[in-house]
Amino acid sequence: MSFASETRRRRTFAIISHPDAGKTTLTEKLLLFSGAIHIAGSVKARKASRHATSDWMEIEKQRGISVASSVMQMLYRDHVVNLLDTPGHKDFSEDTYRVLTAVDSALMVIDAANGVEAQTRRLIEVCRQRDTPILTFVNKMDREGRDPIALLDEIEQELGMPCVPMTWPVGQGKAFAGIINLRQKNMRLFKAGQDRVTDDEVVSLDQADALRARFGHDFEQAEQNIELLSEAAPAFDMEAFLAAKQTPVFFGSAVNNFGVQEVLDALVDLAPPPAPRQSTTRLVQPDEEAFSGVVFKVQANMDPAHRDRIAFVRVYSGRYTQGMKLKVQRTGKELRPTSVVTFLSQRREAVDEAYAGDIIGFTTHGGVQLGDTITEGEALQYTGLPFFAPELFQAVELANPMKSKQLQAGLMQLGEEGAIQVFRPHDGGAMLLGAVGQLQFEVVQHRLKAEYGVEVRLMPSRYVGARWVTADTPEELKKFTDASSAKLALDAADTLAYLMTSPYDLRLTQERHPKIHFHPLREHA
Ligand code: G4P
């Protein structure tokens, strides 16, 4: 197969939702339908506590699980479908944002009873910023939920784009009878409690009389709604969907394995293949022959005896083959992985070859950071991996001063992984940790002890925010650093940041130094 056809048959998407909407269940059913697994239960069994917890044992478990199942590849209708999971806990939202930079589309799962919830809203924002096409799945139709028309209204409001229903429910809750496929003009009849792929009963709408007789008011209501929607909702428009200007909506019940195949088919039929990607120098086509990719996630090994890490790389062009020589562009050094894996369903397997759209994992002992561009040789640099200015700060105090070397090493690695942001103050004071969510501090404290043998105390800090700093000329920058030295620090990537003690402090500093630029977001350069 040619590069172009290998690229065209790939679909890489993230699944996003508020906790408990049914993301794990749906993931499992997608795997089931693609034939990657045969009996439901295997993904679910690996899922640790769903609920927010500050118990670090749970965090560890989640971390283990996310290594195992954060990327899943499946084959469906001769397409290679790469599914990327997004961490559920809000304190790890930075991770999620970065995952969203590595996909070509997103599948949003919504609980029919709860509608669009807080965390989904934040994820939507990120997709919107990047114009990522979104498919919507309204889950739990077997439970009493909101009226589907009202739900569509809400999704439309929240997403800021029209919804185009592709399937429509007949009944809901106890009376849930099935879904009408609006394109194929048939109704798939609901059967509860299936954990295998079975043949559902599908009835053509030519036999609407029989369906009306069987499902009575619910069917008539669905017919009326469909009628209404055909006037009120726009028709599905591929271009508008790909430009993130409308979202196709599907209804179903993941736990009952119902309405899921429609979603999988839509991923193949509607979701886009890998797109060209802009680098600092040129636009790179996915079917170019030379390999290039970006590290969008770094995960430490679960086994503390091995200090190695997996760098998750999204391939943007060319083909990866086993043993290939690759370079990390930031350092110019050769990447020497101990192993390279792909993520077939949930097993990690040595990768034979990978193409644009695929995710591969390089196990290394260091030398790679989040955001690194990896190529066969060309000096390409992709941008766009976001780091958000932390809002929470704590100062690190070492329990045993003899361990300062280990602390440096540990913090550097955790910083590179993106587990936390590390700031070294200009004035030489205690190192500072910056986080977006409180839980990140606990994870880091625990991991420093477990993986680096370093015990630290975390002390309150007077800072409430950070801004990365740039200036148009070196002279202006020097003037600023001389004047504000006490509040400046370098982060793990040696980027200069201004630490602020209040919003007022920032405003004042900006007023005093109008030629300095203060950035709340840093993109890996
Ligand atoms: P998440 O990954 O988004 O956090 O959600 P998850 O799939 O774990 O699903 C959350 C809960 O919702 C689970 O119930 C799951 O069984 C249930 N669920 C998922 N899809 C459906 C559906 O279509 N209909 C109904 N009625 N429930 C659904 P749980 O009781 O919390 O866990 P479990 O003991 O059933 O595993």
Residue after which a domain boundary falls, among 211, 242, 270: 270
Same domain, 396 and 499: yes
| Ligand 1, atom 24: closest residue by C-alpha | 140
Q: What is the residue with the minimal CA distance to atom 6 of ligand 1?
A: 22
In a domain? residue 295:
yes
Distance 140 CA to ligand 1 centre (A): 8
- For 224: left if phi > 0, alpha if psi spans -120 to 50, otherwise beta; the answer is alpha
pLDDT value of residue 49? 39
Q: What is the domain range of residue 36?
A: 15-66+88-95+104-270
pLDDT the model gives residue 417: 81
pLDDT computed for residue 195 by the predictor: 66
Residues 362, 393, single domain; the answer is no
Q: Does residue 79 form part of some domain?
A: no
Residues 288 and 371 grouped into a single domain: yes
- Each residue of 279-298: b (16+ CB within 10 Å) or e? beeeebbbbbeebbbbbbbb
Is the same domain home to 244 and 341? no
d(CA 19, ligand 1 centre) in Å: 10
Across the chain, which has 525 residues, the per-10-residue mean pLDDT values are 91 91 89 72 48 46 53 90 80 79 96 90 83 96 94 92 96 95 94 74 94 95 94 93 96 93 95 94 95 90 68 94 92 88 65 90 86 93 84 93 90 84 91 89 88 92 95 95 95 91 96 94 70
The amino acid at residue 306 is H
**140 annotated ligand binder:** yes
- Of 375, 400, 426, which marks where a domain is finished? 375
In this structure, are 451 and 363 located in the same domain?
Answer: no
Residue 291 domain-assigned (yes or no) = yes
Does the annotation place 18 within a ligand binding site? yes
- 10 within a domain of the structure (yes/no): no
Domain assignment present for residue 409? The answer is yes
Q: Is residue 120 located within the same domain as residue 148?
A: yes
CATH number of the domain where residue 442 is located: 3.30.70.3280
d(CA 25, CA 312) in angstroms, rounded, equals 24
| Same domain for 310 and 282 | yes
Say if the ipTM goes beyond 0.90. yes
pLDDT at site 194: 66
Same domain, 129 and 258: yes
Q: Does the annotation list 27 as a binding residue?
A: no
The answer to whether 247 is annotated as binding is no
**Same structural domain for residues 259 and 293?**
no
- Is there a contact between 340 and 322 (Cβ–Cβ < 8 Å)? yes
Query: How far, in Å, are 40, 136, 273 from residue 249 at the CA level?
Result: 24, 5, 20
- Out of 375, 399, 421, pick the residue that ends a domain: 375
- Three-state SS for 156-201 is HHHHCCCEEECEEEECCHHHCCEEEECCCCEEEECCCCCCCCCCCC
Q: What integer pLDDT is reported at residue 50 of this predicted model?
A: 41
Residues 346 and 484 in one domain: no
* Calpha distance 154→165 (Å, rounded): 13
Rg (CA), the chain: 25
Pocket test for ligand 1, best of 15, 17, 18, 20 (most atoms within 8 A of CB): 20
Q: Tokens for 54?
A: 């500050």
CA of 446 to the centre of ligand 1 (A): 30
Does some domain include residue 223? yes
* Same domain flag for 229 and 343: no
Distance 43 CA to ligand 1 centre (A): 12
> How many residues in the chain?
525
Say if 219 falls within a structural domain: yes
For atom 11 of ligand 1, the residue with the nearest CA is: 20
Sign of CA dihedral 427, 429, 431, 435: negative
175 burial level (CB within 10 Å; 0-12, 13-18, 19+): middle
| CA 41 to ligand 1 center in whole angstroms | 12
163 belongs to a structural domain:
yes
CATH code for position 41? 3.40.50.300
Q: What gap in Å lies between CA 29 and CA 345, rounded to an integer?
A: 12
- Ligand 1 center from residue 301 Cα (angstroms): 29
Residue nearest to atom 25 of ligand 1 (CA): 140
Query: Residues with Cβ within 6 A of ligand 1?
Result: 17, 19-25, 44, 50, 88, 139-140, 142-143, 253-256
24 is in an annotated binding site: yes
Q: How many domains does the chain have?
A: 3
Indicate whether 127 and 220 sit together in one domain.
yes
Output the pLDDT for position 305: 62
